[in-house]
Amino acid sequence: MALTPYTAITKPTVGNGVSKADEGDPMVDNFTRLHTLEDQAIWIPLNGATALVAGDKAYWRVPTKFNGGTLVGVAAACKVASTSGAIVLTVKNGATAMLSTDLTIDETETDTNTSSAPAVIDTAHDDLTNDGAAAADLLEFSVVSPGASVTYCGIEITVRPAA
């Protein structure tokens, strides 16, 4: 996006506040951009020096500040890549899967950013809650397929607070 020289920008009129009518679309677009600055990335470790095993799980309690928020990003990485088979990981809210396509780290790779099947967040199930119902307040991260000899693996989630 090219920057408009300052001389071409209309100054807001005193008493009108900041509005799209006075400032144009860039101002509104910047408010959207500012909202994404509230996003927080959270790292959930699944294992350490012990190799992953199918069924390994970790849990994250949704803090009250994210009640009504949304899962907006997922990724995974490990320090030591699988020597045989892909690593497949899933994210659930209670019993409900939050991904329509699970996280996959391909064999010999250490990150999902090179995955042949990128994870997809299910937008019908991406909501976060903390309403006092213990099961619904926990996100579950689990290993569907562990690969072989995978250590120091974890999932990164990016969450956006409610507007």
The amino acid occupying position 67 is: N
DSSP string, 143-154: EEEE-SS-EEEE
Q: What residues are paired with 71 via a beta bridge? A: 159
Closest C-alpha among 19, 65, 18, 23 to residue 42: 65
Lowest mean pLDDT among 7-11, 31-35, 84-88: 7-11
| Yes or no: domain 39-160 corresponds to CATH 2.30.110 | no
- Sign of the torsion formed by the C-alpha atoms of 8, 14, 15 and 17: positive
Contact 160, 42 (CB under 8 A): no
Q: Which of 103, 113, 117 is nearest to 52 (CA)?
A: 103
Q: What is the mean pLDDT of residues 100-120?
A: 95
Three-class secondary structure of residue 29 per DSSP? helix
What is the model's pTM?
0.76
Tokens describing residue 29:
């677009």
Residue-wise pLDDT tens digits, 132-150: 666 668 899 999 999 999 9
Tell me the helix, strand and coil percentages in the chain, rounded to 5. Answer: 15, 35, 45
pLDDT of residue 67: 87
For residue range 22-71, list pLDDT tens digits in order.
Answer: 555 555 556 655 655 688 999 999 999 999 999 999 999 988 888 889 99
- Cα–Cα distance measured from residue 14 to residue 127, given in angstroms and rounded to the nearest whole number: 40
Residue spans of the domains in the chain: they are 39-160
Residue 97 has pLDDT above 90, yes or no: yes
Inter-residue contact 146 to 56 (CB < 8 Å): yes
